[in-house]
Amino acid sequence: MSKSFVRDLGTYVRAGYPIVTIISSEEDRALELIDELLRGKEMSKRPRKLFVWSVSRGFVDLGGRPAGKDDTRRPEQALAFVAAYPEGALFLFKDFHPYLRDSAPNAALLIRQLRDLVPELKGSPRTLLWLSPVLQIPPELQKDVTVVDLPLPAENEYRQVLDRLVEQVKSNPTVTVDLDEDAIDAIVKACQGLTRSEAENALAKAIVSRQGLSGRDVRSILDEKEQIIRKSGILEYTAAVDNFSGIGGLGQLKTWLRQRNEGFSQRARDFGLPNPRGVMLVGVPGCGKSLCAKAVAAEWQKPLLKFDLGRVFAGLVGESEERMRKALSVAEGVAPCVLWIDELEKGLAGIGGSGDSGVATRVFGTLLTWMEEKTQPVFVVATANDISQLPPELLRKGRLDEIFFVDLPTTRNRAEILMIHLARRQRSPTDYDIAAVARATEGFSGAELEEVVINALFEAYDEKDRTLKTEHLLNAAREIIPLSRSRARQMETLRQWAATNCRMAAATESDEAAGEQDGLSSRRARLVDL
């Protein structure tokens, strides 16, 4: 990735582009790569010097010496220095963007200076480089400024950081380094998404806190990623505790997801498989769609980011689109990860309407483009209850790998869900007639089954012996009116749509019955053979 940045930047410089803005917060790393560019063979035919500007020091060379006799700390003085400099050079401005805002005192003067300077720089061996963590280009200069993103470090760069740190501490007798190739690979993959400085800090923190470094320190590095997510203000880091064993039913969905987990490995890349893109879970409310998103992250041992689309929309013109791009950039920065977009249809409400001046449509377009073109291993888990509000372009293949319909649990799945909730509350499922309760809760969702257990516990707690019995569970089941009865028409409409548009997340009652019959036939056939 760093090589592509050096190559692209070198092309712009040699082609005589007047202004290139570099989007990155890694100033030291950007300077190293620019210095590498200037020392390369491609630049030897027309060598250039490098001067670095900051408002605190003005223009200095790489050794920290002032570039000239005159004071160049003020932005207008710095631009005058560039205009008068006679030789080939790169002029790197750190954090120049605040001076170009409309609210800045001398913004109009600086913009005019730059517009006068652009014709002189075009095709010349002089180039302005703006280094900033945010993109800020005045409308007057948008046609003259080229944007280059400095990508996060690649795996080999994280390995170099790890090697340097191990080299520094190996002579310290109080520090134990226990790293085999698998541990190194796990730590390097955990560092992906961090800047070089953040990776150095995370590894140093692990060494200080544990007086050593081993494969177990992956958790410490993931904690550093959590800090990045919190600072974004848009995404929410969600703890993923239960894996697939904590979800009853949904066997076909679980199998599909386990297969996709293997797709993130390098062996899968070598085999020709792309990174898994994501999945849409459509279905009945309370049947475990959100729980599945959490379980995927726990099963795959990857960070889970909850993306609330409502936080994207802001009051200022253009700010919503920028917040969407920032959120997606943060998600890519902490990849590999799981990005959970809950109740997607509510977040996209207003698309095509007249009340938002097209903001929702533009934000949705940004999301669609990213979902189709993303290259980072960000697995999207989107959930939805009302498919009638979902735009058709979201559901086509290429943006998501598959759409699953999560229906009401079958009798067997209800029994499994009841056992899970009883076990979570320190009750042995074998002490109860689970089959009777499962039959009595036909049409109940997973959330409603959990409520059956909770209500039964309250009833048992109110009695003298405080012992939960099967009767308590059956009483609680009779008192609850499930959504399948109160919203029967909507449920049927949803099922009819899913029958031709989705894969089933779990086997149906008829499938289970057929499976049992096949199993019985197989056993009979074996007996005949015997």
Which distant-in-sequence residues (6+ apart) come within 8 Å of 364 by Cβ? 348, 351, 391
The number of residues in the chain equals 530
**CA–CA dist 15, 125 (Å, integer):** 9
- Beta bridge partner(s), residue 92: 52, 129
Asked whether the predicted pLDDT for residue 354 surpasses 70, the reply is: no
**CA–CA dist 108, 120 (Å, integer):** 19
Architecture of domain 266-403: 3-Layer(aba) Sandwich (3.40)
Asked whether the predicted pLDDT for residue 402 surpasses 50, the reply is: yes
Q: Contact at 8 Å (CB) between 152 and 194?
A: yes
Q: Quickly state the pLDDT bin for 1 (edges 50, 70, 90).
A: low
Enter the tokens of residue 284.
């009945």
Mean pLDDT of 90-114: 92
In the chain, CATH 3.40.50.300 covers 2-149, 266-403
Q: What's the confidence (pLDDT) of residue 528? A: 39
Pairing of strands 304-307, 235-237: antiparallel
Which has the higher per-residue pLDDT, 422 or 313? 422
Q: Quickly state the pLDDT bin for 529 (edges 50, 70, 90).
A: very low
Q: What's the confidence (pLDDT) of residue 438? A: 94
Asked whether the predicted pLDDT for residue 318 surpasses 60, the reply is: no
Mean pLDDT of 168-187: 83
Q: What's the confidence (pLDDT) of residue 315? A: 53
**CA–CA dist 422, 436 (Å, integer):** 15
Amino acid at 273: L
Q: What's the confidence (pLDDT) of residue 349? A: 64
Residue 79 phi/psi, 5-degree rounding, is -70, -35
Q: Which of 49-53, 322-326, 381-385 has the highest mean pLDDT?
A: 49-53
Mean pLDDT of 317-344: 80
Q: What's the confidence (pLDDT) of residue 516? A: 52
**CA–CA dist 240, 301 (Å, integer):** 9
**CA–CA dist 201, 217 (Å, integer):** 13
Hey, which CATH number is domain 155-232, 1.10.3470, 1.10.8, 3.40.50, 3.40.120?
1.10.8
**CA–CA dist 481, 495 (Å, integer):** 20
Q: What's the confidence (pLDDT) of residue 91? A: 96
Q: Quickly state the pLDDT bin for 513 (edges 50, 70, 90).
A: low
The answer to which of 99-108, 109-118, 317-326 has the lowest mean pLDDT is: 317-326
pTM for the structure as a whole:
0.66
Asked whether the predicted pLDDT for residue 117 surpasses 70, the reply is: yes
Q: Contact at 8 Å (CB) between 500 and 400?
A: no
Q: Which of 138-142, 190-194, 228-232, 436-440 has the highest mean pLDDT?
A: 436-440
Domain 2-149 belongs to what topology?
Rossmann fold (3.40.50)
Mean pLDDT of 153-164: 88
Enter the tokens of residue 499.
């029958």
Q: The domain 411-480: what is its CATH number?
A: 1.10.8.60
Q: What's the confidence (pLDDT) of residue 229? A: 73
Q: What's the confidence (pLDDT) of residue 526? A: 44
Of 213, 234, 215, 229, give the one whose Cα is nearest residue 337: 229
- Beta bridge partner(s), residue 149: 23
Pairing of strands 212-214, 176-178: parallel
Mean pLDDT of 174-201: 83
Mean pLDDT of 65-84: 92
Asked whether the predicted pLDDT for residue 155 surpasses 60, the reply is: yes
Q: What's the confidence (pLDDT) of residue 425? A: 92
Q: Contact at 8 Å (CB) between 403 and 501?
A: yes
- Summarised one tens digit per residue, pLDDT across range 253-289 is 889 988 888 887 778 888 888 888 999 998 888 888 8
In the chain, CATH 1.10.8.60 covers 411-480
Which distant-in-sequence residues (6+ apart) come within 8 Å of 137 by Cβ? 21, 100, 145, 147
- Beta bridge partner(s), residue 338: 304, 379
Which has the higher per-residue pLDDT, 28 or 516? 28
- Beta bridge partner(s), residue 283: 406
